[in-house]
Amino acid sequence: MIDLSEIGKAFLILFAVIDIVGGIPLILQVREKAGKIYPARAVLVSLGIMVSFLYLGEGILNLLGIDVRSFAVAGALVLFFIALEMILGVRLFKEDLSAPGLTDGRDDNKVYSVVPLAFPVIAGAGSITTILSLRAEFASINILFAILLNMIPVLLVLLLTSRIERLLGRVGLIIIKKAFGVIVLAISVKLFAANITQLFPTT
């Protein structure tokens, strides 16, 4: 059932986790290495990844004998450390920003729009974990709408990366990233608290 409240909440959570504005320095790095990026291709691929995990992720978890709430607790812990990265400016998770099999991205810059731009910059571990974790809280259809809506600002940022960087400046980007970090930290705590109690119900 479509619920605008759930869509709004899921949208804001995913927007904070994807943090496309805070990812502008990485996007610029990818574009410099590749020579050119393809925003539409990056958005479509990342959308496909997220939607696939939304509808197939729970089945995979079931095959592994893991319920959604257990994964939500684990996902909350991952989000917690991602938030610390954003707030403290440290690197806890190492992500390879090179395209495999290419010595120079200019040989096939379309590849760079998929790896690493679509994955893991846009549809990374944080967003995938969040999508699966949200299954414990919201209806799938509402999460789907939230994902689709998030692709709009993602596409706009990819198209206007240089202008946004000039407008906000390096300090502005850092401030935004840290602000989103605090939001993600609060989300992780709430997600953990909401699901840990379900794993250990009181009698």
pTM: predicted TM-score of the whole model, two decimal places: 0.81
Q: Write the pLDDT tens digit of every residue in 45-73.
A: 999 999 999 999 989 888 999 888 888 88
**Percentage above 70 pLDDT, the chain:** 90
Residues 181-201 have a mean pLDDT of 85
**What is the DSSP track for 23-92?**
THHHHHHHHHHHS---HHHHHHHHHHHHHHHHHHHHHHHHHTT--HHHHHHHHHHHHHHHHHHHHH----
Q: Write the pLDDT tens digit of every residue in 109-135.
A: 678 888 888 988 899 878 998 999 898
Chain mean pLDDT for the chain:
86
Residues 132-141 have a mean pLDDT of 92
Q: Taking every pair of C-alpha atoms in the chain, what is the biggest distance, in angstroms?
A: 63
Give the model's confidence band at 94: pLDDT under 50 very low, under 70 low, under 90 confident, else very high: low
Annotated domain spans of the chain: 4-197
In the predicted model, is pLDDT for residue 100 greater than 60?
no
